[in-house]
Structure 1
Amino acid sequence: MQTQDRVTVNQVAAAIAASQKYLLSIQNPAGYWWAELESNVTITAEAVLLHKIWGTESTRPLHKVETYLRAQQRQHGGWELFYGDGGELSTSVEAYMALKLLGVPATDPAMLKAKAFILQRGGISKTRIFTKLHLALIGCYDWRGIPSLPPWIMLLPNAFPVNIYEMSSWARSSTVPLLIVCDSKPVFQIDPAITVDELYAEGRDRVQWELPRSGNWTDLFITLDQGFKLAESLNFVPFRDESIKAAEKWIIERQEATGDWGGIIPAMLNSLLALRCLGYDPADPIVERGLKAVDNFAIETADSYCVQPCVSPVWDTAWAIRALVDSGFAPDDPAVVQAGEWLINKQILDYGDWNVKNRQGKPGAWAFEFDNRFYPDVDDSAVVVMALHQAKLPNEKLKQAAIARGLNWIASMQCKPGGWAAFDLDNDQEWLNAVPYGDLKAMIDPNTADVTARVLEMLGACNLSIDTQNFEKAIAYILREQEPEGCWFGRWGVNYIYGTSGVLSALALVAPLTQKNSIEKGAAWLVGCQNPDGGWGETCRSYDDPSLKGQGTSTASQTAWALIGLIAAGEATNKFALDAIEKGISYLLTTQKPDGTWFEADFTGTGFPSHFYLKYHLYQQYFPLIALGRYRSVLKTRD
């Protein structure tokens, strides 16, 4: 490979050094990395609602939330689901609600702009179910328009076709407490009381308090809901007391010592709402601990306060280790060693909810957050195994034993179609996404190409193996998932660029010869969607409009993903897309800031496709470093 006019080896080395220096500067003294996980404003708005309901608002700096919400409002008057989306109705209604709860009058210019935006899009009646539920808690919506959640669902046996363990881990940890909330249908008195009647486009007195019909088979669920509501009105709810007690017990058993539930704010907020419905006191240790856990997800500045949906220290730390080693750090560098030992201490050796369907597996996985022993996940575990493999630790025997436990757990989580899901085994009853309550279409956790690719990459990168038949099933699953254009869907990152990069990285390591055609087709797709500036980008709208696959403003993280995939494909086939790679590297070099960082405003992480997106603030740092490091390695090898 010849050095290029646009990019020199020295330029790459300088960019790598600056990026490494920045990463080291933000490493926590305990050894881990952790940066902000940004989402839309609903998480913070719902935290305001929670504290108003509990009467704990005066003990938190909630007045600073007003500054945050005003800063997040866009010129059109609304608030966004993801950066640059033009504003989203439900997000805007919840922001408006929070500002009213904070004492901002409806006559405020920002509120008037928000009101116009909201009414133009149909008002409250067109919002999602969860927005309506939050409004119902304070009397701003009628419970008649909320789907019923019969508490006896809690008692359905695990062997029954419908039970709480057929829901995804995040849906389950949020739904169980809502069985209690929806049973009691509370209207909490807050001070001062508010109304949002001005946000009903048709007028509050003309609202139809009913669930919308779709005109297809899913309307069966509307009929069932009407039956549930009739039973409630007649006070005929089978096993009600036993169900509520079972849900309460389930919630308490799953609270971490740190107060968290499920490691995510929706589960934490809903669990605290359930305890409020059950009459718990704010001073109860369980409540106090839970409220403190919400505080731990908050980011406070001199004049602003917001709440993250989750925290990502394990994920960030594993990727930071990989970035440093891939870019030239010694495996036994003190920063790498300290981070590796921190990760080993975060290995979860308890049985969690995954064990309900996976009776064979033994503990040994990692979660995303500081503490989440009930919900470790495959993606984190695979990345941690790769990071530990790259590190050289003082106690190598312990490291190898930890890796072996992680591998065995991951292997036991393979789904019937051949792939891997994030948190559960065979959690794939698609019809659950059609229930009225599930309008976020995220009720299940099926196997996906990106998580499956991560497992296969782990096997190849770490020279590990699983049963041959299961390995072949995984390869077959990946091949079935390839789109006609050559790309792969990205469930947990935006979107096809993310999925394609992951699969190419995996196939290049575990099947470079047998899957050469698939690799070349995927690489060609990446080359074909490169932007004129040399970078890559993909809009979150590609989840709704497949014609937008691989299209969007260039970002550092998505450019890095494309480069990682192309470099892997080139190493596998010895056919490097040199021009595309060089232009991509040039994009990273020219967009790097003097302090070694990159910045992107766009959200490139995915919570729920089409409904919830994330911006990992370290994605724009460690993925470019990985791409630059692997590019330099290729240069050295070929020279």
Structure 2
Amino acid sequence: MTAVEDTTGTRTAADAVEAAREHLLLLQSPEGWWKGELQTNVTMDAEDLLLREFLGIRDEDDTREAARWIRSQQAADGTWANFHDGPPELSTTVEAYVALRLAGDAPDADHMARAAAYIRGQGGVPATRVFTRFWLAMFGRWSWDELPVVPPELMFLPRWFPLNVYDFACWARQTIVPLTVVGAVRPVRPLPFELDELYPDYDVPRPTRTTGWDAAFQALDKALHIYQRRPAKAVRRAALRRAADWIIARQERDGSWGGIQPPWVYSLLALHLLGYGLDHPIIQRGLDGLERFTIRDEKGRRLEACQSPVWDTVLAMNALTDAGLPAGHPALERAAGWVIREEVKGPGDWSVRRPELPPGGWAFEFDNDCYPDVDDTAEVVIALNRVQHPLAEPAIERGVRWMAGMVSKDGGFGAFDADNTRTLCRRLPFCDFGEVIDPPSADVTAHVVEAMAHREMADSLLVKRAVGWLLKAQEPDGSWFGRWGANHVYGTGSVVPALIAAGVRPEKPVIRDAVAWLERHQRDDGGWGEDLRSYRDRSWAGHGASTASQTAWALLALLAAGERGESVERGVRWLVERQRPDGTWDEDHFTGTGFPGDFYINYHLYRLVFPLSALGRYLKGS
């Protein structure tokens, strides 16, 4: 007996779909969009307090509420992690500790003493990442001479030259350019307290390489330190002006830079250090815009690193369509109208490598005209293709044209740029946190393939090359790596439906191997989960606590492959039995990825839209 046929009085998949659909409809804004909270780790909140301390605008009420949130995320051992139920993370713990010192927490308080003991045991401040020591240098608690140098003269490198700013991914270049300014000015505004308790009583050895590129970059860094002490004044002034112009040109209407926290914060710091006062419209707009990213509730005050209304909206549209909502439903029409108005119609940094390509993509955020991305555009094309709106078709055509033009030389697709693959950027001593390039990935490429298939373009050369790229990218165990979601479950859940949509037969070995991998990794409770540690430790691949979004990803792949057996039934039952009375699901675990191995995201709407899609498709096929 299947979940659909259950007559024992327990809830069925149809019941779950109805409850989830109604809950999702209630979350739609009057303008037509959906947006769930985008939760990350406490470094967002710690760095916000540090920014405000540096600028002299830190408010005691906001500090108190931010500290309450930071304390609530501390583990019993005194540490902070980068994701729910994750291992302690040194740099995150240091930044949280310093923020709490700003809030007035005494170093001998129990929760602070436990944090400090962990920090010292891991090598203390000297063992933290560059970004953490960068912040401490601004407050006189680390020497600028002990940080890697990235000079603003970087702005003069031509686009064909290695390590020019466009060799870096969009999120990295937006961060590095303002940091070249901060690093050149080397400001020091001391904190009202010492941090001696965070330094071990022994020397922490620094890793050194004597051969290869690492040794070359260490030699370059030594040379840049010499130049930093006595730069060519005229050249330095011109470089700082060019960096400032570059930064200012990329501020969005809402005051942000790229709609993401790191470049936003560092751009404000850079411009302020170049003489832009707190009352300057650019600075004021930037500071005011942060309020839009601030959440205040009973848990305290916290900041979103980014917001995802376009992504959330089109995922919601697809989920509702999967759940049987008719194409002409007012909610879908209202959502389509909002999405169409969000189209990016001007050039951006992507134009550097594709100067002849007309614009036509979509970005992730409310306001981000410089950085549309392929992933959002693919999902927009799928969503608009499934609804009825008089303006949808021209927008879809522009989106398809732009998306097709962003293909990389190897046939795959990155998220924000084409052919952003120069791995030399990763070797800079400065780049010890997060991915700094944007090469093609399986999940983004799969979404493009699926979108093109919806447009009946599966036989095009573009799609055939992309399918070939996906076939080569399959892991030996049958899964695919997930760049933007956790991890092999997400990659496999994205690729299998795309390959099927492109015409790959379910009985082909590539599909059978993927199905077998998913079935092998189904948990005893019937769900699927993958811990984010799988990005650094392959033994975690496919292993972790079951979550609603990851269970849905696995089901979407199995259903696309034509599976209707015990594995699917157990997965469906897991979702049905764990649905909350309000129609959604609990999901404390993070299943989104910012930087593999370093930065992760809990998309609060994932726990609703993906299970709704999976259950809706299950019912349609039963």
TM-score (norm 1): 0.94
In the alignment, does 2:448 pair up with 1:455?
yes
How big is the shift at 1:234?
3.2
**Counterpart amino acid of residue 158 in structure 2:** P
TM value normalised by structure 2: 0.97
Deviation at 1:465, TM superposition (A): 5.7
Alignment map for 1:5-24 (pairs within 5 Å): 11-24=12-25
**Counterpart residue identity of residue 288, structure 1:** Q
* Aligned counterpart, 2:598: 611
- CA deviation after TM superposition for structure 1 residue 564, in Å: 0.3
**Superposition map of 1:96-495 within 5 A:** 96-189=97-190, 193-202=192-201, 212-214=207-209, 216-217=211-212, 218-236=214-232, 239-302=235-298, 304-393=300-389, 395=390, 398-464=391-457, 468-495=460-487
Q: Note the C-alpha offset of 1:303.
A: 6.0
- Structure 1 letter corresponding to 2:252: E
Alignment equivalent of 2:582, drawn from 578, 592, 595: 595
Q: Write the deviation string for residues 375-407 of structure 1: whole angstroms up to 9, x where unpaired.
A: 0100001001111111112x2xx2100000000
Query: What are the superposed Cα offsets for residues 134-162 of structure 1, whole Å, 9 maximum, x if unpaired?
Result: 11111111112211012111011112233
Per-residue CA distance 1:65-109 (angstroms, 9 max, x = gap): 111011011101001111111311110000001111222221222
What is the rounded CA distance, in whole Å, between the counterparts of 1:351 and 1:60 in structure 2?
A: 41
Q: Deviations over 1:482-502 (max 9, x none)?
A: 011110000000000000011
Q: Could you say what secondary structure the match of 1:552 adopts? A: coil
Output the CA distance in 1 between the equivalents of 2:290 and 2:516: 45
1:47 aligns with 2:48: yes
SS at match of 1:46: helix
> Whole-Å Cα distance in 2 between the matches of residues 140 and 348 of structure 1?
43
**Residue aligned with 1:66, SS:** helix
CA distance in 2, matches of 1:246, 1:172: 14
**3-state DSSP of counterpart to 1:630:** helix
Q: Does the 8 A contact of 2:322 with 2:613 survive in 1? A: yes
Q: Structure 1 pair 456/336, CA: closer, same or farther in 2 (3 Å)?
A: same
Whole-angstrom distance in 2 between the partners of 1:102 and 1:404? 52
**Paired residues of 1:35 and 1:616 also in contact (CA < 8 A):** yes
Deviation of 1:231 (Å): 1.4
Residues 523 and 566 in structure 1, CA contact (< 8 A), matched pair in contact too: yes
Deviation at 1:622, TM superposition (A): 0.5
Aligned to 1:573: none
Q: Cα deviation per residue 1:564-595 (whole Å; 9 max; x = unaligned)?
A: 0100011xxxxx25110000000001110111
Cα shift at 1:29? 1.4
What's the secondary structure of 1:437's corresponding residue? coil
Inter-partner Cα distance in structure 2 for 1:591 and 1:214? 51
CA deviations over 1:186-235 (Å, ceiling 9, x no partner): 11245xx23212101136xx678xx6424552122111101100112233
Counterpart residue number, 2:69:
68
The count of aligned residue pairs is 620
Partner letter of residue 351 of structure 2?
Answer: N
SS at match of 1:436: coil
Are the equivalent residues in 1 in contact too, given 2:123–2:204 (CA < 8 A)?
A: no
Q: CA deviation at 1:604?
A: 0.4
* 1:469 CA drift (Å): 3.0
Mapped contact 1:7–1:586 kept (Cα < 8 A): no
Question: In terms of mean alpha carbon deviation, does 255-264 or 55-64 score higher?
Answer: 55-64
Partner of 1:620: 607
Structure 1 residue aligned with 2:496: 504
| Distance in 2 separating the partners of 1:481 and 1:5 | 39
- Which residue type is aligned with residue 433 of structure 1? R
Given that 1:365 and 1:376 are in contact with CA atoms closer than 8 Å, whether structure 2 keeps it comes out as yes
Per-residue CA shift, 1:264-293, capped at 9, x if unaligned? Answer: 000100000101211211111100000112
Range that drifts further, 402-411 or 77-86? 77-86
Distance in 2 of aligned mates of 1:327 and 1:2: 18
**How far is 1:175 from its partner?**
0.7
Aligned mates of 2:164, 2:51 — CA distance in 1: 28
Q: 1:560 to 1:69 in 2, by over 3 A?
A: same
1:122 maps to amino acid: G
CA distance in 2, matches of 1:579, 1:371: 45
Structure 1 residues 602 and 237, CA, compared in 2 at 3 Å: closer, same or farther? farther
Q: Distance in 2 between matches of 1:322 and 1:158?
A: 39
| Distance in 1 (alpha carbons) for counterparts of 2:26 and 2:175 | 37
Question: How large is the Cα RMSD of the aligned pairs?
Answer: 1.9
**Change beyond 3 A, Cα 1:307–1:214:** farther
Separation of aligned partners in 1, 2:308 and 2:525: 31
Q: Secondary structure at the match of 1:416?
A: coil
Identity level (%): 42
Separation in 1 of the partners of 2:482 and 2:227?
42
Question: Which letter does structure 2 place at the counterpart of 1:196?
Answer: L
User: Counterpart amino acid of 2:509?
Assistant: N
In structure 1, list runs of 5 or more residues that go unmatched: 571-575
Displaced runs of 4 or more, over 3 A? 1-10, 234-238
SS in 2 for 1:242: helix
Query: What displacement does 1:2 show?
Result: 6.4
Q: Is the 8 A contact 2:70 2:96 kept in 1?
A: yes
**Structure 1 stretch 116-125 or stretch 577-586: which is displaced more?**
116-125
1:131 maps to amino acid: T
Q: Which residue of 2 aligns with 1:527?
A: 519
